[in-house]
Every structure is written in C-alpha cells, then in structure tokens.
Amino acid sequence: MTMFSNALNLNSVRRRGVATRRPCGFTLLEVMVVLVVIAVLMAIATLSIRDGGKKQIQDEASRFVLLVEALVDEAIIDSTMFGVLISDENYQFVRYHIEQQRWQPWQRKPFSARTLPEDWRTTLWLNDEAIEIPNIDDVRISASTDKDDDNGDDQNNDDVVSIPQIIILPDGEITPFLLEWQSPNYSSQIELADGFSTDFTIQYEQN
C-alpha cells in the first residue's frame, strides 16, 4: 500500500512538472507569426512612404492652383496687381504698391509663403522657355520686422522683393506659365496656357 501510494505521488509530481515546464525559445508557429507581422508592417511603411510622396506633391499642386485662382479674384475686386514669386525653396504671393512703385509680400492668410521640401526641384517655363529660378536669398531685397498680419500690409513699407515671374493684372489677366515640381519619386506640372482664364491643367507622373 505504501509502495502504491509512493508511485501515485511520484506520478503526480511528474505530471505537475510536465504541466508547469515551458519549452525554452519560440516555437516555429510563433516565429512564423512574427515574420508575417514584420513583413506586413514593412509593406505598410513602404506604401505609406510612396503614397505620402505622391499625395504631398498632388496636394501642393492643387493648393497652388486654388491660391492663384483666389488671388485673381482678389486682384479684380481690389483693382490691384499681384504676382507669384518663385524661388528654389519656396513660392510666395506679392502685391504691387503703386505709391511706392515696388513689390511687397502679401501676407494675408492663406497667401503666406509656402516652403517646399528640400529634395524638390523647381522648373518654370515662360513663353516656352525655361527660366532661371532664383535663390531664396536673392528674391528679397530688404526685410521688415513690423508686419500687419490682418491685412497683409507692411506697416513700415520697407519689405521689398524682386519682380515676380507670374503677374496678375487688375483685370484678372495672368502671365501664362508652366510650373514643374519634381520630387525623388513623383513630378507635377501646372500649366496655364491662356492668360485670360484660369483653366489650369495639372499632370502627375511617376519618375
């Protein structure tokens, strides 16, 4: 009886030991699950980067067109001459002051200067000829630190920029142009063939 009890106790201990013992390392199924998860995350990250680059250049082109169209309306309403000044790093909207006979930044929202990504390349065609894009430091002749954010006016009237490449007249006529932005993966072309309308054409391509 004692031997039988000892045998039962020994079997019970063995069963408990087996039940509580956990194999060291990962099972093949666990490794496969981890690899699948990593592969899916890498695919999502890759797609996000690619889509992000495409969406970014599409959004910027659409924003540019909408702002230029709004500025044409602004020119007609205010009987004022506006312009688009494009540099290698950004583009900004400017207004011509007849009294001072000079161009000044138009800071009224949403017309604030737009900074482009560092890895983008800008090309601008006027009259079917590519023109030289100035450095961002060359487009500003002098700077003012006193700005009226509400109406876009320079209170000190000493913030002066160079002549914009694209000019919008008070009657709504605009300089025809072809603007291209190239990112590492995508490019966009914004064209306005007729200066008497705002019928823009936007094309996107993968490089």
- Report the CATH number that the domain containing residue 45 is assigned in CATH: 3.55.40.10
Structure tokens at 5: 């009890």
pLDDT value at residue 13: 45
Higher pLDDT, 109 or 10: 109
Task: Kindly state the average pLDDT of the residues 72-101.
Answer: 94
Structure tokens at 155: 């209170």
Contact assessment for residue 147 and residue 113, using Cβ atoms and an 8 Å cutoff? no
Residue 15 lies in a domain: no
Looking at the 3D structure of the chain, how many domains does it have? 1
Residue 59 lies in a domain: yes
Task: Kindly state the average pLDDT of the residues 119-145.
Answer: 83
d(CA 146, CA 33): 60
Q: Against a cut of 0.85, is the pTM above it?
A: no
Q: How far is CA 185 from CA 84, 123, 148, 163, in A?
A: 26, 16, 39, 32
Residue 150 lies in a domain: yes
Residue 13 lies in a domain: no
User: Which of 112, 114, 93, 113 has its CA nearest to residue 103?
Assistant: 93
Residue 77 lies in a domain: yes
Residue 3 lies in a domain: no
pLDDT value at residue 136: 83
Per-residue pLDDT tens for 163-178?
999 999 999 999 999 9
Structure tokens at 87: 């540099």
Q: Is the pLDDT of residue 77 over 70?
A: yes
User: Which of 78, 161, 153, 55 has its CA nearest to residue 111?
Assistant: 153
Residue 18 lies in a domain: no
Q: Is the pLDDT of residue 102 over 80?
A: yes
pLDDT value at residue 141: 61
pLDDT band for 82, please (50, 70, 90 cuts). very high
Residue 9 lies in a domain: no
Task: Kindly state the average pLDDT of the residues 85-98.
Answer: 94
Contact assessment for residue 116 and residue 122, using Cβ atoms and an 8 Å cutoff? yes
Domain extent for 84: 27-206
Higher pLDDT, 15 or 33: 33
Q: Is the pLDDT of residue 50 over 50?
A: yes
